[in-house]
Amino acid sequence: MGRPNLQIALDNSDLPTALAAVSAVGEIVDIVEAGTVLILQVGDESVKCLRALFPEKIIVADTKCADAGGTVAGNVRKAGANWMTCICSATIATMKAAAKEVEQIQVELYGDWTYELAQKWLEAGITQAIYHQSRDALLAGETWGEKDLTAVKELIKMGFKVSVTGGLEVETLKLFEGIDVYTFITGRGITGADNPVQAATEFKNEIIRIWGE
Ligand code: 5RP
Ligand code: MG
CA of 165 to the centre of ligand 1 (A): 6
What is the average per-residue pLDDT within 60-84? 98
Residues 119-133 have pLDDT tens digits of 999 999 999 999 998
Determine if ligand 1 sits within 6 Å of the CB of residue 148: no
Determine if ligand 1 sits within 6 Å of the CB of residue 9: yes
Nearest-atom number in ligand 1 for the CA of 85 is: 13
Residue nearest to atom 9 of ligand 1 (CA): 187
Nearest ligand, measured from the Cα of 83: 2
Q: How many domains does the structure of the chain reveal?
A: 1
Write down the pLDDT at residue 143: 85
Residues 25-53 have pLDDT tens digits of 999 999 999 999 999 999 999 999 999 99
* pTM (predicted TM-score): 0.96
Domain that holds residue 135: 5-211
Strand intervals (E) in the chain: 5-10, 31-34, 58-65, 83-87, 104-109, 128-132, 161-165, 183-186
Nearest ligand, measured from the Cα of 188: 1
Residues 157-188 have pLDDT tens digits of 999 999 999 999 999 999 999 999 999 999 99
Contacts of 63 (CB under 8 A, 6+ apart): 36, 39, 72, 76, 84, 85, 86
CA of 101 to the centre of ligand 2 (A): 20
Write down the pLDDT at residue 136: 78
CA of 115 to the centre of ligand 1 (A): 23
Q: Count of H helices and E strands in the chain?
A: 10, 8
Probe residue for ligand 1, chosen from 11, 148, 162 as the CB with the greatest number of ligand atoms within 8 Å: 11
Q: What angle do CA 41, 142, 148 make, to 5 degrees?
A: 95
The answer on pLDDT for 9 being more than 80 is: yes
- What's 168's domain CATH number? 3.20.20.70
CA of 166 to the centre of ligand 1 (A): 5
